[in-house]
Chains A and B, each alone.
Chain A
Amino acid sequence: MNLSPQEALDLVLETARKGGAQDADALYEESESLSLDVFEGAMKNLERSDSVGLGLRVLVDGRPGYSFTERLTAQSVRRCAEDALALAAFTDSLGIQLTEPSTVSQLDLGVHDDAALDYGPARMLEQCLEAEDLARTLDARVVNIPHLGASRSSGRSLLGNTRGFRGERCSASVSLGIGVVARDSSADKMGWDGATWRHPGAIEPRAIAQTAVERAISLLGARPIPSGPLPVLFDERVSGQFLGIFLGAFLADSVQKGQSRLVGRIGERIAPAGFHLFTSPHLPTMSGSRLFDAEGVSTTKRALVEDGILRGFLHNLETSTREGIAPTGDAHRGYTGRVSAGFSNVEIDRSAGRSNKELLSKFPRILHVVKLEGSTGCNPVSGDVSIGVQGFLHENGGIIPVDRVSLSGNFFDILVDVVGWGDAVRPGVHGQILPSLLVRSLQLAS
C-alpha cells in the first residue's frame, strides 16, 4: 500500500534522523500527463503517464548521501533512507546548514490553471487535425507532416527538511506543436512551430500550422554563401538555444571547480553597456517561476550581469557556504539527483530593445540566423563555438535563404561583441525571456 506524499516525506526524514543523520531534506514529486500524436489524419499514439518519486539527501556530520525511490510503500521508503545513510560514510563534508522554516511569500505565480486539466484527447485530436488540414492546403510544396502532437501535463512537488521546513509547488500546462517538411527540386526543409501554455484557450492551431509552413517554405532554395566574417542576428527563436549552451558558466559550482571561464571576473566587463542578465523567479506563468528553491531558500530577482558587468553567480547552499555569502535561492533538484543550481527563468532586459527589422538595417550585409543545428561543436567550458546554422542573408535590400554554413568564434568574445538586441521574445511559458541578439562579427564557413 502506498503512503500519502506527506506520510512518505515524514517517514523518510524521520528514518534518516533516527539512523544517524543530523540533517536531511527530501523532495516528493508527482506528475500526470496525457499526450497524443497524429499522422495523416489519424491518431497514431496516445500516452498517459502517472509518476511519483521521493528523493532524499542526508547529512551525517556534514557528509551527504543521496537516494531515491519510486516505490512509496513504508518498506521501500525506509530502505531509501538506509541507502542514503550507508553512502554518506564515503563522501566529503559539505559544511552546510539547512534552511530554517520561514514565511514563504504567498504571491500567485500563475503556473497552475485548472483549465489545463480539461484539455482532453478529443480536443487535442480536433486541434491537431485542424492544424494538419491547414498545413496541407496552405502550400503545395508541403509534402509531409511527420511531427504533430498535443499534450497536457500537471505536477506537484513537496519539499521538506528535518528543521521543519515544508513547501509545495503545483503546475499545469498544455502544448501543441507541428513539424512540416516542404520540398522543391533542390531539397527538403523542415519548419517547426509550437508552444507550451497554461490555458488551452491560448492554443491557436491554425496560427501554429501557418507559421510552421512559412518557416519551411522560406528556407527552400537555401544555399551556402562564401566564407568570411560577417555580422549576425540570432533570432529570438534561437537565442535561448544558443545562450543555453553557455549559461552553465554562471553556475558557482562550475566556477569553484575550474569549469567556467568566468572565474575571478566578478566586477569586470563581460558584455556591452546596457546589457542586463537576470535570474527572474517571480515572472507570472513562466516555467522557472518559484517562491522558494530546491533547498527551501526564498527566491528573488537578481542581476548576474548588470550594465555589462559580471555581478554574481548561481548558488546552492554548498557553493554559497564555500564562498561565505548568504544563500541566493538558485538551487535546483529532481528527486533522482543531487542538488545543483540554475536560472529560475533567464531574462535579458529588453527596455533598450529594437525590432528585428531595425537591427537588420544596421548593417548593409548581415546574416539572420533562424535555425541552429545541434550544439555539440560548442564547448561550454572553453567557450569554443562551431555550429551549423540556417537563415537569411540580407544584402543590398535582397534576402537569400542560406544553409550548409557554420559559424565559429568564442562565446565569451561574442558576448562582448553584442551590439544590439530585440524587443520580442518567443511565445509560450518556457522561462527564457531572451530577445534576438545582434553580434558585430562572426566567422562563417561554407
Chain B
Amino acid sequence: MDPIQARRILDHACARGAGFAELFVEETRFSSIQLRDRRVESASAGTEFGIGLRMIFGAQVLYGHTSREDLGALERLVEDLAQARPRNGQDLDLGDPITGRSFVDASARMGRDPSDPQKDGRLAVLRLADESARAVSSRVVQATIGILHRRTRLTLFNSEGLQREGDRTWTRFNVGVIAEHQGVRQTGSEAPGEGRGLEFLDGLDVVANARAAADRAVRMLDASPAPAGEMPVLIGNGFGGVIFHEACGHPLETEALRRKATPFAGRIGEMVAHPCLTAIDDGTIPHAWGSLEFDDEGTPTTRTTLIENGVLRTFLSDRIGAAECGVPRSGSARRESYRYAPVSRMRNTFIAAGESSQEDLLASMGDGLWAVRMGGGSVNPATGEFNFAVEEGYLVKGGKVGAAVRGATLTGKGHEIMPRIRMVGRDLEMAPGTCGAASGLVPVCVGQPSILVDPILVGGRS
C-alpha cells in the first residue's frame, strides 16, 4: 500500500476524533500438502489479503477490515466505524509513541518458499514419514502426514508516524498415527515447527518424529485405565508446558486483567507460586514458532519474566492494556491476521529449567502418575478452572515406573496449582502449538522441564 494513501486514511480517522489510528496491511501465501492412506490426498495453495483499520477513542477500540484495496472502501470503513461508535467511553492516555529497534535479526526468518512439492523435497518427506511410521508395528493401521508453510508480508502504519515492514515465515510438519488391536484404536502424533522456510525440513529428523508418534499409539494399545484421585504427578517436559500456558499464561495477559477476569489481579510482587518456579515469555528466541521481530502494533518483542522464584513480576501487555493496567509494554500485541484487532497474547512461554534430574523427581514422588506427554486442555481464565488430557502416562510405585495408563485427565485451578509445583527438572524443552483467543489463532511455543506437582486431581476410570 502506498504510504501517502495510508497517511490520508489515518488523517481522516483522526479528523473523525480518533486519538490513535492504525492500518495493518497483510498478504499471506499458504501452502499445504497432505498424505493419508498412502496417497497424496490434497495439495493446496492460497493467498490471504486484507487491510485492518483500528481507531482508538480513549479506552474504546474500533476495528474493521476489508479485502478491497481502493481508497474509497477504506474511507467508507473510517466513516462506518466513526458513526457506529457509541459515545459513552472512558478517557485513556495511551502513553508515548512506539519506538525502538527489534532485538531479533529479521533476516534470519527468511528462507526457502515452496515451489513444486517434488523438487522442493516435500513429497519425499511425506513418503519417508509414512514408511517410518508403518515400519514400527503391524498394528499401525493409518498415518496422516502434512506439511504447512505460511509466509506473511505486512506493513503497519500508525497515526504517530510509525511504519514497519514485516516478513514472517513458518513451516510445520505433522504426523498422526493410528494403531489398532482387537477393536481398540489409539492415536499418537508429533508436530514440530519453526519460524523459518522449508529449510526447516532439512534439519528435521523425520524418521524419529514418525517413529515417536507410531510408538506412542502402539504402546497405548496395551495401556490400562488410569487411576483416579488426588496424587503426585510428574508432568513431562515440552508440551507439558501447555498447563502453565492455559492456567497461568492467559490470566497473565492484560486482556484478562482489563476485564478483572484473573485471579492474579493486584498481586504483582506477591508470592504466587513455589519458590522453585520461574516462568518466562520470550518473543525473541531465534526461529522459535512463537517469536516475532516486533509485535502486531509495531513494538519490538521482549523476553518477559512473568514469575521469578515464585514472585509475580508483571503481565503480558499490548499498548492499551499497558496504559489501562499500569504495567510496562512487553511487545505482546498479536493477531491471527488482518481480520482481528491485536490484543495481548503469549509468544514462547515456558517454565525455566531447575536442577533436579528425572531420577530425583521420580524418587521423590513415591506413588503417583508420570504424565510423560500431555494432550491439549482448556481453562476458564475468569475462575482459573482447568482440565487437561494425559496422552501418554505411566503409574509410579515407590519411585519406580510401572504400567502404561490411558484416559487420565488433570483437573484443578491454575492459581492453586502453582504453589504445588514443588520440584523442577533440568530438561527444559519447547513445543510449538496454536493458541486461540480473542484475536484468533496465533503460533506459540509452550515449554517446561519435567515438573513435580503434588498433589493434583487425576480423573481416570479405575
- A-side contacts of B48, CB under 8 Å: 70
Q: Are A227 and B88 in contact (CB under 8 A)?
A: no
Q: Is A34's beta carbon under 8 Å from chain B?
A: yes
- A-side contacts of B63, CB under 8 Å: 45-48
Q: Given A51-B339, A387-B409, A445–B459 Cβ distance below 8 Å?
A: yes
Q: Are A90 and B43 in contact (CB under 8 A)?
A: yes
In angstroms, Cα B45 to Cα A377, docked, is: 33
Q: Are B60 and A42 in contact (CB under 8 A)?
A: yes
In angstroms, Cα B48 to Cα A52, docked, is: 10
Interface SS, B side: strand
Q: Is B123's beta carbon under 8 Å from chain A?
A: yes
Residue of B nearest to A183 (CB): B383
Q: Is A86's beta carbon under 8 Å from chain B?
A: yes
Q: Given A190-B383, A258-B142, A379-B187, A87–B411 Cβ distance below 8 Å?
A: no
Q: Are B387 and A374 in contact (CB under 8 A)?
A: yes
- B-side contacts of A405, CB under 8 Å: 459
- The smallest C-beta distance from A302 to any residue of chain B, in angstroms, reads 26
Q: Are B407 and A408 in contact (CB under 8 A)?
A: yes
Residue of A nearest to B88 (CB): A42
Interface size for A (C-beta < 8 A) is 86
Q: Are A43 and B378 in contact (CB under 8 A)?
A: no
- A-side contacts of B263, CB under 8 Å: 188
Interface string of A83-120 (1 = CB under 8 A from B): 11011101110000000000000000000000000001
In angstroms, Cα B184 to Cα A261, docked, is: 8
Q: Is A181's beta carbon under 8 Å from chain B?
A: yes
Q: Are B377 and A66 in contact (CB under 8 A)?
A: no
Q: Are B407 and A91 in contact (CB under 8 A)?
A: no
Interface string of B184-198 (1 = CB under 8 A from A): 111100000000000
Q: Are B225 and A408 in contact (CB under 8 A)?
A: yes
Q: Is A351's beta carbon under 8 Å from chain B?
A: no
Among A275-315, those with CB < 8 Å from B are none
Q: Is A177's beta carbon under 8 Å from chain B?
A: no
- A-side contacts of B385, CB under 8 Å: 373, 388, 403
- A-side contacts of B182, CB under 8 Å: none
Interface string of B54-90 (1 = CB under 8 A from A): 0000011111111110100000010011001110111
Residue of B nearest to A373 (CB): B387
Q: Is A71's beta carbon under 8 Å from chain B?
A: yes
Q: Is B132's beta carbon under 8 Å from chain A?
A: no
Q: Given A80-B47, A387-B387, A72–B375 Cβ distance below 8 Å?
A: no
Interface string of B117-142 (1 = CB under 8 A from A): 11000010000000000000000011
- A-side contacts of B178, CB under 8 Å: 258-259, 381
- A-side contacts of B184, CB under 8 Å: 382
Q: Is B427's beta carbon under 8 Å from chain A?
A: no
In angstroms, Cα B187 to Cα A49, docked, is: 38
Q: Given A144-B260, A376-B376, A187–B44 Cβ distance below 8 Å?
A: no
Residue of A nearest to B383 (CB): A188
Among B225-243, those with CB < 8 Å from A are 225-226, 228-229
Q: Are B261 and A406 in contact (CB under 8 A)?
A: no
Q: Are A381 and B60 in contact (CB under 8 A)?
A: no
- The smallest C-beta distance from A1 to any residue of chain B, in angstroms, reads 8
Contact of B459 among A83, A84, A386 (CB under 8 A): A386
Residue of B nearest to A443 (CB): B461
- A-side contacts of B185, CB under 8 Å: 258-259, 261, 381-383
Interface string of B373-390 (1 = CB under 8 A from A): 001111110111111111
Q: Given A48-B81, A86-B116, A386-B409, A404–B457 Cβ distance below 8 Å?
A: yes
In angstroms, Cα B180 to Cα A383, docked, is: 13
Interface string of A215-249 (1 = CB under 8 A from B): 00000000000010000000000000000000000
Known contacts A48-B64, A377-B409; 18 additional CB pairs below 8 A are A42-B90, A46-B81, A51-B65, A65-B44, A66-B44, A76-B49, A87-B43, A87-B44, A144-B259, A147-B259, A179-B382, A190-B383, A338-B41, A376-B376, A382-B187, A387-B409, A388-B411, A445-B457
Q: Which residues of A contact B (CB under 8 A)?
A: 1-2, 34, 36, 39, 41-53, 55, 64-72, 76, 79-80, 83-84, 86-88, 90-92, 120-122, 125, 144, 146-147, 179, 181, 187-190, 227, 256-259, 261, 336-338, 373-379, 381-388, 403-409, 443, 445-446
Q: List 20 A-B contacts (CB under 8 A).
A: A42-B59, A42-B90, A48-B81, A50-B64, A50-B66, A68-B44, A70-B49, A70-B50, A76-B49, A79-B47, A179-B382, A181-B261, A258-B141, A338-B41, A377-B390, A384-B407, A387-B409, A388-B411, A408-B461, A445-B457
Q: Which residues of B contact A (CB under 8 A)?
A: 30, 33, 36-37, 39-50, 59-68, 70, 77, 80-81, 84-86, 88-90, 116-118, 123, 141-142, 178, 180, 183-187, 225-226, 228-229, 258-261, 263, 339, 341, 375-380, 382-390, 406-409, 411-412, 457-461
